Structure 1
């Protein structure tokens, strides 16, 4: 089972990257790190699809059985970096594929708008967004270990487990 998490933050040391790397290490998923992947700004021109970074993104998402989209919330939406990456993709990569959503919030009631924004865009890509979604507040993080505190890790595990369940269901349906 090939699960890919997309760190949708352009910040190298942001909380979205911390949770993405934690899930990658602890739960054996692959990582697309938009703070490291140097994608151009999407312009719809065909030559962009020949760039190595874009090919890498398309290939990893195409080969994924399930995807976790992770983003900070900026101005009541997902990050521009994640939206830009998703603009390079389409229903060919996402159609009926199980997708989990995760927002790393700055605090308070942050994160829910980013989740809703990601859900709308994923629907436009024909993805199957799973019911469980997750907001990680600043108090969820172990900054010294570049990971999550124990209680937050339980929530991350539940998200990964539910995504895996939906991937298995999707695979059994596709076999028929």
Structure 2
């Protein structure tokens, strides 16, 4: 089972990356093969609505990883009550064929106390439009949950993230089994 973890923050230093790094570790501990796509280091062109950028290496990598993924873990900071523009742009390059019948876990890093919910709602709507099976559970963290290196260290937050990783792995296995039965 292969899970694509996407860091939706375009920032060099970000709490969102702290979420996705830990999610990657937790998913690997649970036996998943994890690939990581970081919008802070993989620079995508702006989505033009045509095939103009098909030769972009980062875009080719994103599409390949999404094609072969059985599930997704996607995280974003909350910018102006929504997901980051970098993440929305990346999702615009993908389509229903990348997400259909595949579970997706969503997470957000809040810039302040109890933010992040609007970014999660925004991601849920867009991923539903791409036919992803977005988990009902979701994760949001406040700034106090991190150390100075942007690592997620709050014990309660880490526990919630671990629960989501377990759920994503479990549902990914069940979804793959159902999809394989339908193909036969």
Q: Structure 2 unaligned runs (5+)?
A: 29-33
Q: Is the 8 A contact 2:7 2:74 kept in 1?
A: yes
SS at structure 1 position matched to 2:47: coil
SS at structure 2 position matched to 1:59: helix
Partner of 1:172: 177
Q: Structure 1 unaligned runs (5+)?
A: none
What's the TM-score, normalizing by structure 1?
A: 0.94
Query: Aligned-pair distance for 1:4?
Result: 1.4
Partner of 1:8: 8
Q: Distance in 1 between matches of 2:52 and 2:149?
A: 42
Q: Is the 8 A contact 2:27 2:166 kept in 1?
A: no
Q: Is the 8 A contact 1:7 1:35 kept in 2?
A: yes
Distance 1:26 1:98, change over 3 A: closer
Distance 1:147 1:110, change over 3 A: closer
Partner of 2:31: none
1:57 aligns with 2:67: no
Query: Aligned-pair distance for 1:30?
Result: 2.1
Query: Aligned-pair distance for 1:145?
Result: 7.1
Query: RMSD of the TM alignment (CA)?
Result: 1.4
Q: Is the 8 A contact 1:19 1:148 kept in 2?
A: no
SS at structure 1 position matched to 2:45: coil
Q: Distance in 1 between matches of 2:154 and 2:26?
A: 13
Q: Is the 8 A contact 2:103 2:168 kept in 1?
A: yes
What's the TM-score, normalizing by structure 2?
A: 0.90
Q: CA-to-partner distance for each residue in 1:77-116, whole Å, 9 max, x for gaps?
A: 0000000000000001011110011010012221110000
1:124 aligns with 2:129: yes
